[in-house]
A and B are shown apart, each in its own frame.
Chain A
Amino acid sequence: MANVLPPDTIRCDACPVLCYIKRGHAGACERYANIDNQLVRVDPHVLLDRAKFQGAPLVPFLEREHEWDGQLLKGRETFVTAIGAGTTYPDYKPAPFIVSSEVAGVDMVTVVTEGIFSYCGVKLKIDTDRHLGPERNLVRAQGEPVGHVTTAEYGSQMLSIGGVHHLTGGTKSEGRVTCETLLDLCNGKEVALTIDEGASITVAANQPPIVNGQREERMRVGCGSAAIGMFAKQWFGKVDEVVVVDDHITGVLSEHQAGKMLGVRETGIAIQGRRSTPGRYFQVAQPGTGWGGTNINDPLSILKPFKEKFAWPHLRLLMVSTTGDHYAYYELDESLRPIEEDLPPALRESVARIRENCEPALTTVLFMAGAGGSLRAGVTENPVKLTNSVKNSLTRVTCGGAPAYIWPGGGITFMVDVARMPENAFGYVPTPALVAPIEFTLKKSDYATLGGHMDYIRSLEEVMREKDRQRQLTSLPDNPWPLPSPNERRTK
């Protein structure tokens, strides 16, 4: 087929049928449609079922535990999510679903729409000490720049992916790949990324990151100095000196406050790098993917010769990384040179304890977007009132039923953990932009006050009758129920 499409026709690439879809029509699946020459997912519409009884079992099937057979529970509450609700872009019309329901005698309204966000991106928090790449360097997918390294925060490397400059500010291919990367990340799929002058990583929401082909198991227990503080007591008496190797702050037991408190004797150890405060050293090596996020594989390389004045033969030295993944045990010989020995059983326990105290390393994907623009017109005739209502906590914002954090300041800029949203909650349009569900829940009376589309309110029962377009899911147990609880109402 020719690449030239007839006017008002788009080609859907959601499945291998590759339908040509005319404006105003749906493809063969009736799930993707051409709305104003945008490919929009229109089906199915996801409803969340609330298990009223705490701890109600989910029945896993085919390893997909979000799905549930619906049979075990009675007396459920239902929340209509925006997933599959469609959109009224460019938003001069009321949102596709404005649903009323009653919560503890109060009429509530949930305005449900799928927003098209070209001002959007994800923040990746990758739990690893390994150096992924220099700050500000480009992160690439399929060779295209899709984001950059921002910083590191307490045992995690932070990347920014997407954003309007990659989605629409670069080449067509950059925009397309960025959109695809964001969509995959948001829908929980695995994505391969490379960082200029840095590592190759494979990440997926709520999964351990894979750095240069190696799966990260644990997040550091703390920085090297923190580790000394946490475990000093357990080492005391079993070893004369401990060095916790860390690219950020390497800790040294005998010099550290915690060691001093216990009366650990001075050992004459001398460490490379820059001393910050006693027992805390910066820049003992270069960043890398070796011990504790440094580039070293031989821990002795960060040591200078022991000071003869303080050190003694048979001095016992433990060197360990911040995750306990790397460790080595030495004793000084007669000329005060460290000789590697087997780790004594008494210390084995403390190394295991470090590992035990490390939380599992994960990648978290936070979707971030601004709903401050025209999307609000689908909710109310007076858009700024919606913004104010959200700021005043009268209107609750959820994404596919998951709680959203609203940034202070102007607009409705929100962040949501995609792992708390139902599977495949995101879609895209070839603009390129992401389609994300967003729901605004507020009191019906408040909705009238802010100029809501009152004529378009439909009852929950009415919406639920359209069963063939719906998918019912159980809400995730960790999420607060999107509608306010009766107790919460009384306090307002």
Chain B
Amino acid sequence: MIDWQSFTPVSAFTGGMIIGLATALLLLIAGRIAGISGIVGGLIELRRGDFAWRAAFVSGLLLAPWLWHWLGELLPVRIETGHAVLALAGLAVGIGTRYGSGCTSGHGVCGLSRLSPRSMVATVLFMAVGMVVVYVVRHILG
């Protein structure tokens, strides 16, 4: 059943288009794919000569909530997950996105935009697993 109270198609689609614009800018000027896990992972490796654009991209991303807050009210953030589970989830996301060569941005947005079969497989898999995990946590354990 669709939760019409929470469903925000207009801001979701508009926000998505803005993400698409950011992706286009990075691709057409820097020649790089806006995949967050890959960009951050490359920073951590510290052994490449392409540090500058990665650091610049991440700096911009980190400044975004501050610019938003300066212009207006930040949207509500609701997290009910405990710290231990969050840490476990972070570990899984860190290792998984690096092994799988991408996350929601690299595979889900960029990969699907360029019709990459690898990214289609990755996106279907992480979405399906995410749905199974939420089902187990909320409807079987919960």
Tell me, yes or no, whether A binds B.
Answer: no
Question: What residues of chain B have their CB less than 8 Å away from a CB belonging to chain A?
Answer: none
